[in-house]
Chains A and B, each alone.
Chain A
Amino acid sequence: DTGVSQDPRHKITKRGQNVTFRCDPISEHNRLYWYRQTLGQGPEFLTYFQNEAQLEKSRLLSDRFSAERPKGSFSTLEIQRTEQGDSAMYLCASSTRTGTAYEQYFGPGTRLTVT
């Protein structure tokens, strides 16, 4: 199966620690997205890349969050000085243009718990 993969699936950390998540997209997809999802909510956009270029970053994203996609393949999302409010599911998706539409395919997510 060559779907989107994310690592780790679960992360428990103490407040104030830094965490880093990895996403490996579908190989031929040039766009990669990061979302955050909390219980009872839909995915909330964080940022996205086209190849290695970060094209947009949500205004809701504090400067403790940073994402990279150095070679246009896998991506990392780092959260510095974690807070309890950062506890959420972090989802990665990749896409390519299909006809006139972009279809996003999601990974299984990384569940972050900040204690």
Chain B
Amino acid sequence: TQLLEQSPQFLSIQEGENLTVYCNSSSVFSSLQWYRQEPGEGPVLLVTVVTGGEVKKLKRLTFQFGDARKDSSLHITAAQPGDTGLYLCAGTNAGKSTFGDGTTLTVKP
């Protein structure tokens, strides 16, 4: 069974602060995705990382895939209230994904 652990489970910060959330596994994945989910809606794909050590940037969000392709991190710079949501990581092999339980981020104005 491929398990993904996300930490922290909950994070509450003030607008303008920086933060990092983590996604860890003992399994190797061919790719890893990060999603953001709003209450009552489906997850929205943010990024896919494929290569060990890969870093991708999406505006104020920076995603990194671990060298061994077992873990990943998401760093948000100068968080805004609009960043509030559930951040999910998913490890994928052969097109099938295993999801972590997410980090619930609250950014207070």
Contact = CB atoms under 8 A, between A and B. Distances in A.
A99 interface: yes
Q: In terms of DSSP, what is the predominant structure of the interface of chain B?
A: strand
B36 to A, nearest CB: 11
Contacts, number: 62
A42 interface: yes
Contact of B40 (A31, A41, A106, A111): A111
Contacts of A31: 95
Interface in A58-115: 91, 93, 95, 97-109, 111
Interface stretch (B43-51, B55-63, B74-82): B43-51
A85 B45 CA distance: 28
A56, A95, A101 pick with most chain B CB within 10 angstroms: A101
A42 B101 contact: yes
- With a 10 A CB-CB cut-off, give which of B44, B95, B99 has the most chain A CB atoms: B95
Contact of A104 (B30, B97, B102): B97
A41 B101 contact: yes
B90 to A, nearest CB: 8
Interface string B29-44: 0110101000011111
B73 interface: no
Contacts of B85: none
Contact of A101 (B41, B48, B88, B99): B48
15 contacts: A31-B95, A40-B101, A42-B4, A42-B90, A42-B100, A43-B99, A45-B96, A99-B50, A100-B30, A100-B31, A100-B50, A102-B31, A106-B44, A106-B45, A109-B42
Interface of A: 4, 6, 31, 33, 35, 40-45, 48, 56, 91, 93, 95, 97-109, 111
